[in-house]
Structure 1
């Protein structure tokens, strides 16, 4: 008896660029090291290495091909020595440079719905529903698998991993480019297996035991069965529960605090960029873009390519207002010959409140900036906090977060493709060894960290939030009161403006109640605070885009707010000291509400 088992699949296809790299052998590296300082002839190298001359000659020939070795004359005989480029490569302490060959390749694979196994399309029989119906009408026993209770992840990162596994055909190949314009994802097809006398034909060798069992069980169903229901038994799409912690060196001047300092930081980052700059600003303002355009034009003149993304999506009016600003910026870019071919603005909101910058540099890898500043709408007048990240593994996490934030279109999104491949490349670099620790804060990790800080603080616990809203009590006040309940712990929550249903009378009542529990609920006066942070004791600081006292992380879209946790000697104390210089009300005994006419002026940029 023969049965056709039809399993629903996703089919993904696209064109990729494969970098094929032949690495350097031990002999080639030994030869280059040997002639790095003194020129030597082939016989000398043969004698030193005690290997056949053919290997020495072949190694020198390949090294010369890539300009690492040059010919010279030594004592009247032909000799070889490292070229200036080769000497620099040897003395740098880094791996020798590689020279990949770019190969275009069309890749197609399927992800079956029952267990999440994936296979190259060429290894399976693929049928459309109409083709299955034709087979059924022709007398075939067709049994369709119906999957319930979930399904395989089709996130951008999951599909990029699958694509890389299938596209790269050896250890010397890796995916370097995904052509999003050619990416296609379909969900209306079936992987068909023919089972004859209990033996499945057409099942790839890499199929897992769970898929084999599902096929076998379906084949044993009674005659006439057309539908077999199964529960999904594959891996679930789960966010990393605990942030990855990376040891690194953290420079105190990479913590940017202030208003105008953010503008200086923005210009300095663009000045360091080599080829790429990606900016994510929650809000947009065409006038602010004009003000920043000299720095942007200067970068474009050096060959930098920009992508500007924005995330305003609080309500339809907010999204429409920022879409209008995006259109005005796009028109300005189109009319400017210096920007036209170098600056791309994306017209759809990402839905994220995160504030990010990513740039590459000529020699120091990638740099990321994470914080509270709306780069393309802020007048740089409110106090902001931004952390500049240079450790490549932390920056890789930022790139991966951006990949997931914008990757809703799957492999068709070029930014998500670029960020996914960039994150992979950065994670191949050596890990840091500094005394500081850094980790990216995404989604529910915000709640975990503020609870950790309030529960472990022994000296001080400070929360900064732009807004004070209806979630202030569980989000910040209760955490501060928990810390204040321990003897000797100073606890402060500082904010600028009430929002939502909260009015001034409510904030006064909250301040009185918090004060009775040992927590100082402080409102800023002349200078608005737009920075969002949590600092406890001397060494722990979290800087983020999340308004701790008015919002909470969205579990359905964890990339809606992104921050960074730095644990480094004195970093929190340094930040608090600098903030107290701006806001003396944090430390004075007079913590009463400021008068109405002293309230800071707020705008869309300060949210």
Structure 2
């Protein structure tokens, strides 16, 4: 028996501009390097490389077309040698691709169950109003999803993976004047086989479609108006990142305020190409001080982008928006707009990021954690992690592109640049690793509290700047761990939320203290760090206030954390924290 299943989608189309061209292989790079050292004939290259003569000839033709290799006639033979520009090019980590500009109009669809992206041409798409006519007389069922954010559903990383070929680099996307349209994609389910979606679909979508078909079959043909609702959270999973190998050092953990300030000085000293700062809040005077710090880099024509996240208003005013606007006006007045760009739209994210190059266009560091770079006095105990490995940096680039995506869904030049950079870093070979790292988005944080509850054998440590009404769901798992494995989980926070009655909160805290959870407020030094770590190995440094933020709602990009898994990452952090706060 076959069942027609309607999947909710958003149908969209954009004009994409590319640079298209095949990338160089390691064999081509190796031959160019060999020709820099001395001249070779085809036979000599064939013997030393063990590559077929035909392949050698094709490689030499490509290298000559690029102007990197030339022919040198000898009396008895024809030799090949590198040109001066070829000698310089051979020293690069990767040979730059030879590309041509291209553009095309691409129609695509985003399914609203798990966020998969398809070419529109690969789906059977109808309007909602045509459902009954198209499915009349056939067993059928619609999957229903919560009312979507028409622009938030578009995941930039997934879009680039599906729509861009390996030999394409995105340059820009034309502005779109129309909204994505809500539609239904029709698929047919026969047994366990789904027809009309292709083979590469998410497990969530596959399960939802087959569950819907089973429900329809159970109605024995009485399926008019039948639907299967799915939760809003399933679409967030398309945003999640993979675990990446990294090289971890103990000094990659940054904690003191002055050490965070020193990172801005480091960026000013080494960066020659690109700096990006994402700060939840912007204080005008402190942001101007940061600009002064970064002037050495700006004087080298380094480009600086400033993004900010506060989107709520207090007393009818959004002070961060006002400060960002004032900062933008200062930059225009000082003639720096060709190097400094203040994004005037909120990212609606609590993330804190410092991204900068180390003097080369493909060598970057990123700092992720709790530091509000444009509003802090650099006096608090913070927690941030430095990352330098290519694959995790690639993920950060895609996350920055996602954060910078405006609320109207446009893919800006900044987004296109960081899609391009993310794809480039993702293709690079990784150096040796001794740890792993994974980006943790807002909706994923609760899972790691449960992991700490289930996995911890020796210790659990949680740090939160604030304690508020959302504390209980994260304290209960710690109390369970305390009782079931005789642990003494430690929880430290800096202050109560403004809307919390301190006496009532202390009464609630007493309940968890009785269960074996150590909970302390630290006012000196001020604790602004947000951390969860357990035993020696697992360390999650984040922007998320564990005891006051509800990460089950909103968008997945509301918070940003990094999970470091290493033999000693958590132990290193715990030792540093105890030294900073004098709590042993």
Q: What's the TM-score, normalizing by structure 1?
A: 0.74
TM-aligned CA distance change 1:232 to 1:297, over 3 Å: farther
Match of 1:556 among 554, 557, 570: 554
How far off its partner does 1:277 sit?
Answer: 2.2
| CA–CA separation in structure 2 for the residues paired with 1:430 and 1:47 | 28
| CA–CA separation in structure 1 for the residues paired with 2:392 and 2:511 | 40
| CA–CA separation in structure 2 for the residues paired with 1:488 and 1:154 | 47
Instruction: Report the 3-state secondary structure (helix = DSSP H, G, I; strand = E; otherwise coil) of the residue aligned with 1:181.
Output: coil
Conservation of the 8 A alpha-carbon contact between 1:167 and 1:175: yes
| CA–CA separation in structure 1 for the residues paired with 2:271 and 2:566 | 27
Which sits farther off after the overlay, 16-25 or 48-57?
48-57
Residue of structure 2 equivalent to 1:420? 419
Match of 1:181 among 150, 175, 182: 175
| CA–CA separation in structure 2 for the residues paired with 1:354 and 1:309 | 10
How far off its partner does 1:561 sit?
Answer: 1.1
Which sits farther off after the overlay, 463-472 or 392-401?
392-401
Conservation of the 8 A alpha-carbon contact between 1:120 and 1:166: no
How far off its partner does 1:563 sit?
Answer: 0.7
How far off its partner does 1:536 sit?
Answer: 1.6
TM-aligned CA distance change 1:293 to 1:113, over 3 Å: closer
Residue of structure 2 equivalent to 1:350? 347
Q: Deviations over 1:207-265 (max 9, x none)?
A: 8699xxxxxxxxxxxxxxxxx97869999734159752222111222111111111111
Q: Does 1:40 align with 2:19?
A: no
Q: Deviations over 1:404-451 (max 9, x none)?
A: 334343344333333334333332233564121111111232111122
TM-aligned CA distance change 1:189 to 1:233, over 3 Å: closer
For the pair shown, the structure with the greater C-alpha radius of gyration is 1
TM-aligned CA distance change 1:106 to 1:464, over 3 Å: same
| CA–CA separation in structure 2 for the residues paired with 1:420 and 1:125 | 28
TM-aligned CA distance change 1:43 to 1:184, over 3 Å: same
Which sits farther off after the overlay, 514-523 or 310-319?
310-319
Conservation of the 8 A alpha-carbon contact between 1:246 and 1:432: no
Which sits farther off after the overlay, 434-443 or 451-460?
451-460
Conservation of the 8 A alpha-carbon contact between 2:464 and 2:494: yes
Conservation of the 8 A alpha-carbon contact between 1:35 and 1:81: yes
Conservation of the 8 A alpha-carbon contact between 1:149 and 1:232: yes
RMSD: 4.5
| CA–CA separation in structure 2 for the residues paired with 1:38 and 1:380 | 55
Residue of structure 2 equivalent to 1:463? 462
Residue of structure 1 equivalent to 2:447? 448
How far off its partner does 1:12 sit?
Answer: 3.5
Conservation of the 8 A alpha-carbon contact between 2:239 and 2:556: no
Uncovered stretches (5+) of structure 2, i.e. residues with no partner: 1-6, 186-194, 202-223
How far off its partner does 1:295 sit?
Answer: 2.8
Match of 2:249 among 248, 251, 256: 251
Residue of structure 2 equivalent to 1:261? 259
Residue of structure 2 equivalent to 1:522? 520
How far off its partner does 1:289 sit?
Answer: 1.2
Conservation of the 8 A alpha-carbon contact between 1:411 and 1:417: no
Conservation of the 8 A alpha-carbon contact between 1:19 and 1:100: no
Conservation of the 8 A alpha-carbon contact between 1:180 and 1:414: no
Number of positions where the alignment pairs a residue of Structure 1 with one of Structure 2: 536
| CA–CA separation in structure 2 for the residues paired with 1:495 and 1:26 | 52
Match of 1:311 among 301, 309, 312: 309
How far off its partner does 1:464 sit?
Answer: 0.9
Residue of structure 1 equivalent to 2:15? 15
Q: What's the TM-score, normalizing by structure 2?
A: 0.77
| CA–CA separation in structure 2 for the residues paired with 1:514 and 1:234 | 35
Residue of structure 1 equivalent to 2:390? 392
How far off its partner does 1:462 sit?
Answer: 1.3
Residue of structure 1 equivalent to 2:570? 572
What pairs with 1:221-300 in structure 2 (closer than 5 Å)? Answer: 237-239=235-237, 244-300=242-298
Q: Deviations over 1:277-318 (max 9, x none)?
A: 222111111100111112333222222222211111344448
TM-aligned CA distance change 1:14 to 1:304, over 3 Å: farther
TM-aligned CA distance change 1:364 to 1:122, over 3 Å: closer
Q: Deviations over 1:182-201 (max 9, x none)?
A: 5754538999xxxxxxxxxx
Conservation of the 8 A alpha-carbon contact between 1:11 and 1:187: yes
How far off its partner does 1:540 sit?
Answer: 1.7
Conservation of the 8 A alpha-carbon contact between 2:71 and 2:81: yes
How far off its partner does 1:52 sit?
Answer: 9.5
Q: Deviations over 1:124-177 (max 9, x none)?
A: 9999x9xx9xxxxxxxxx979997623998656557755775565xx6x31422
Conservation of the 8 A alpha-carbon contact between 1:155 and 1:404: no
